[in-house]
């Protein structure tokens, strides 16, 4: 592991432009369950059952109970040394773009700025009627489903399965990865697309890829440096 760590450190040190992609694994040590791990969020449900427009149309109350529960977990959690290490890395790097699949907002709370949230933000609510987006960080929400001033029903401001990603955010993420010298992929099972496709884009663009994960993923054998360990320990060690 340490010669890989040394190699990854060197690549980061010589990088002009760095892109980072994070998944639920970086928030695991903040006490937020991941999506597909043993203690997963989806334990009693399958993702397609809750994180889809169909599920919300069928049972907005159930979907909102799940999101309200997650918002409570996130509000009680704090960024961990992994989130903070990425803030430090951004300060040291000439250029760093942080792309996250997470909707928990922990990168912002750690002090990261300009975070590209490709799957949206759990603290944003979007009106199904007038499309307005309101930011509401109250936990728990006073009523479920929450209502817009226009009377319409508000939905979580996140991207569900079958929904397209915010185009401007996604385009910025692709550009950042294809222009980077090093792509650091942290805590993602890389099963959800198009986000996971950023790793293919990096490889096709000749970018050095570093993966930080406690387990192997389908990409582990093809990245330049696969660092096995918890991100709250490995990221600070990378610095």
Task: Kindly list the residues in this chain that would bind ligand BV8 in the complex (CB under 6 A).
Answer: 23-25, 28-29, 34-37, 51, 101-103, 119, 158-164, 187-189, 191-193, 212-215, 217, 230-231
**CB-CB contact of 153 with 200 (8 Å):** no
Distance CA 144, CA 149 (A): 15
Strand-pairing partners, residue 134, are 125
Out of Zn ion, ligand BV8, none, what residue 25 binds, judged by CB under 5 to 8 A for its kind, is: ligand BV8
Binding mask of the shown chain, residues 78 to 117, with x at each position contacting Zn ion by CB under 5 A: ----------------------------------------
Out of ligand BV8, Zn ion, none, what residue 199 binds, judged by CB under 5 to 8 A for its kind, is: none
Cis before residue 238, ω within 30 degrees of 0?
no
Residue whose Cβ sits closest to ligand BV8: 25
In this structure, what DSSP letter does residue 147 have? B
Out of Zn ion, ligand BV8, none, what residue 148 binds, judged by CB under 5 to 8 A for its kind, is: Zn ion
Instruction: Report H helices in 93-220.
Output: 106-110, 167-179, 197-204
Nearest Cα neighbor of 232 from 6, 38, 27 is 27
**CB-CB contact of 74 with 106 (8 Å):** yes
Out of Zn ion, ligand BV8, none, what residue 24 binds, judged by CB under 5 to 8 A for its kind, is: ligand BV8
Least Cβ distance, residue 148 to ligand BV8 (angstroms): 20
Cis before residue 208, ω within 30 degrees of 0?
no
Out of ligand BV8, Zn ion, none, what residue 130 binds, judged by CB under 5 to 8 A for its kind, is: Zn ion
Torsional sign, CA 98, 22, 75, 67? positive
Residue number with CB closer to ligand BV8 (71 or 96) = 71
Please list the active-site residues: 119
Residue number with CB closer to ligand BV8 (11 or 51) = 51
> Kind of pairing, strands 133-135 and 120-127?
antiparallel
Binding mask of the shown chain, residues 124 to 163, with x at each position contacting Zn ion by CB under 5 A: ---x-xx-x---------------x-x-x-----------
Residue number with CB closer to ligand BV8 (14 or 69) = 69
Residue number with CB closer to ligand BV8 (16 or 48) = 48
Distance CA 18, CA 16 (A): 7
Residues 6+ apart with CB under 8 A from 91: none
Residue number with CB closer to ligand BV8 (121 or 181) = 121
Cis before residue 182, ω within 30 degrees of 0?
no
Where along the sequence are the contacts to Zn ion (CB under 5 A)? 127, 129-130, 132, 148, 150, 152
């Amino acid at each position: 592991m340490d010669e890989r760590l040394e190699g990854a450190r060197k690549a980061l040190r010589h990088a002009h432009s760095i892109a980072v992609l994070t998944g639920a694994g970086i928030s695991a040590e903040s006490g937020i369950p991941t999506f597909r791990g043993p203690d997963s969020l989806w334990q009693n449900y399958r993702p397609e059952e809750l994180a889809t427009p169909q599920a919300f149309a069928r049972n907005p109350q159930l979907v909102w109970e799940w999101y309200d529960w997650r918002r409570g977990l996130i509000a009680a959690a704090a960024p961990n040394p992994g989130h903070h290490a990425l803030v430090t890395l951004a300060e040291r790097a000439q250029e760093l773009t942080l792309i996250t699949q997470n909707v928990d907002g922990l990168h912002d709370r750690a002090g990261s700025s300009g975070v590209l949230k490709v799957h949206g933000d759990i603290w944003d609510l979007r009106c199904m009627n007038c499309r307005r987006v309101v930011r509401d960080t109250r936990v728990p929400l006073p009523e479920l489903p929450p209502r817009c001033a226009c009377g319409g029903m508000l939905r979580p401001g996140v991207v569900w399965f079958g929904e397209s990603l915010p185009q401007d955010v996604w385009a910025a993420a692709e550009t950042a990865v294809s222009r980077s010298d090093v792509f650091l992929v942290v805590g993602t099972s890389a099963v959800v697309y198009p986000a996971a496709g950023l790793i293919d884009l990096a490889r096709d663009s000749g970018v050095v890829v570093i993966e930080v994960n406690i387990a192997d993923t389908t990409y582990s054998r093809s990245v330049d440096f696969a660092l096995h360990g918890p991100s709250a320990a490995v990221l600070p060690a990378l610095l």
